[in-house]
Amino acid sequence: MTSPVSSEPVGQPHFHYANGQLHAEQVALEPLARQLDTPLYVYSRAALQAAWTRYQDAIAGRDVLVCYGMKANSNLAVLAEFARLGSGFDIVSGGELARVLAAGGDPARIVFSGVGKKVWEIEAALTAGIKCFNAESDAELERLSAVATRTGQTARVSLRVNPDVDAQTHPYISTGLRDNKFGIAIERAREVYRHAVSLPGLEVVGLDCHIGSQIESVAPYLDALDKLLDLIDALETDGVQLHHLDLGGGLGIRYEDETALPPQALLDGVFERLQQRGRSHLQLVLEPGRSLVGNAGVLLTEVQYLKPTEARNFAIIDAAMNDLIRPALYQAWHGVLPVTPRQDEPAQTWDLVGPVCESGDWLARQRVLAIRQGDLLAIESAGAYAMAMACNYNSRNRPAEVMVDGADFHIIRRRETLEDQLRGESILP
């Protein structure tokens, strides 16, 4: 479907037009891109703060720990900003643990998710003193017990339960269905909890679930919550006392015409159900990622060539699927804005494609834009699952990242060089 001509940022109030140019806060993006080159990721510090404030306002004094799902964007400056604001962190690897610690995050506010934790990762997390491991299999419980016992430590664990709830999202980002790789089937959870409490070196402290991402309704959360509360009732009869309930993350953002689910609506619905079931004493843990950073960033790119054909008009840009893989991977929609809108060019319908040698290398299709070769475009809502998933396919350097703070900007990751890419490789003698 052909979109109307883009005119204003969608869902990104800290990106706006002023004096005929797109700005991030008070910084004009045209001169920024010309100075630092493209592709270029630009984030707004005020947008990060505003997203965090929406959660804090919704919490309103209730016992909730927000653990930023850092796989969405793991830049040290982003992590340090959330650490400064008081966030916890949801990690899925030893590398993410190291990043959180380097950014000043509090280990006691870290939960360690993920299906494939290695021994060294468990050892590092135990040494750091994290809040909890979210265990996802019987085999992982055995490994956690063995490592904790060998090192003379105690591993605090929650079981990630798969409630078989449809989050009504893209299949690749749905995580709570029976055929997903994540979690322990809820039908087996009671048995697995009994096993967990019998293992040495473990302290069972919570219950965890995560049903997916880009969720737009409270209903799937409440469906999962009802199943979890039934399980908590059953565990109590087995003598298993839990201290926290982790509902994961997954709140969606606005990319096109979606209605983003406000944290207030989620928390009010969850706490009403907890109160009804007599479980309001449990600490609630949330793991938002996309909803904290997704609308805080754009990807700037320059039009290299315009290539009209009989079938389609192609605008060949210098950003590619290796810089932003979501469209190729999920068929995801990102809005496209001219950084400096033109009044001297008729609007036409364009496919925005990159230089990578794949037919799947596209960032946007059928967009109505008035553009010329050399123009700058902003790919919207690129703060989450964008630079974090970038790679060197076709031996392309990964982009630089910039954080705008009012009228100032800071380079928070320099542009990768070919020397960076080749470092660590060697030729056979």
Is residue 137 within 8 Å of 185, Cβ to Cβ? no
Neighbours of 130 (CB within 10 A): 24
Query: Is residue 391 flagged as an active site residue?
Result: no
H helix or E strand, kind and range, residue 379:
strand 376-379
Please give the backbone phi and psi of residue 170, each rounded to the nearest 5 degrees, phi first: -60, 140
Neighbours of 120 (CB within 10 A): 10
Report the alpha-carbon distance of residue 20 to residue 342 in Å, rounded: 9
Which parts of 152-294 fold into alpha helices (H)?
Answer: 186-198, 219-237, 263-276, 290-293
Residue 287, annotated as binding a ligand: yes
Half-sphere exposure (Cβ direction) of 286: Cα atoms closer than 13 Å: 27
Report the alpha-carbon distance of residue 285 to residue 242 in Å, rounded: 13
Closest CA to 398 of 324, 304, 331, 333: 324
Beta bridge partners of 303: 317
Beta bridge partners of 68: 89
Half-sphere exposure (Cβ direction) of 17: Cα atoms closer than 13 Å: 15
Kindly list the distances between the CA atom of residue 159 and the CA atoms of 54, 177, 190, 232, 322, in Å, as whole numbers in the listed order.
Answer: 28, 16, 10, 12, 35
| Angle, in degrees to the nearest 10, between helices 94-102 and 76-85 | 60
Is residue 382 within 8 Å of 41, Cβ to Cβ? yes
Contact partners, residue 401, CB within 8 Å, separation at least 6: 40, 41, 42, 43, 75, 77, 387, 411, 412, 413
| Residue tagged active-site, from 132, 209, 357, 391 | 357
Find tokens 């990060």 and name the residue. Answer: 48
Residue 288, annotated as binding a ligand: yes
Residue 330, annotated as binding a ligand: yes
Report the alpha-carbon distance of residue 263 to residue 251 in Å, rounded: 8
Residue 289, annotated as binding a ligand: yes
**Own/partner pairs for 303-307, CB < 8 Å, 24+ apart?**
303/371, 303/372, 303/373, 303/374, 303/375, 303/376, 303/377, 304/355, 304/373, 305/373, 306/350, 306/371, 306/372, 306/373
Three-class secondary structure of residue 337 per DSSP: strand
Neighbours of 410 (CB within 10 A): 12
Residues annotated within a binding site for pyridoxal 5'-phosphate? 250, 287-290, 385
Q: Point out the annotated binding site.
A: 250, 287-290, 326, 330, 358, 385
Residues that constitute the known binding site for substrate? 290, 326, 330, 358, 385
> Which residues are known catalytic residues?
357
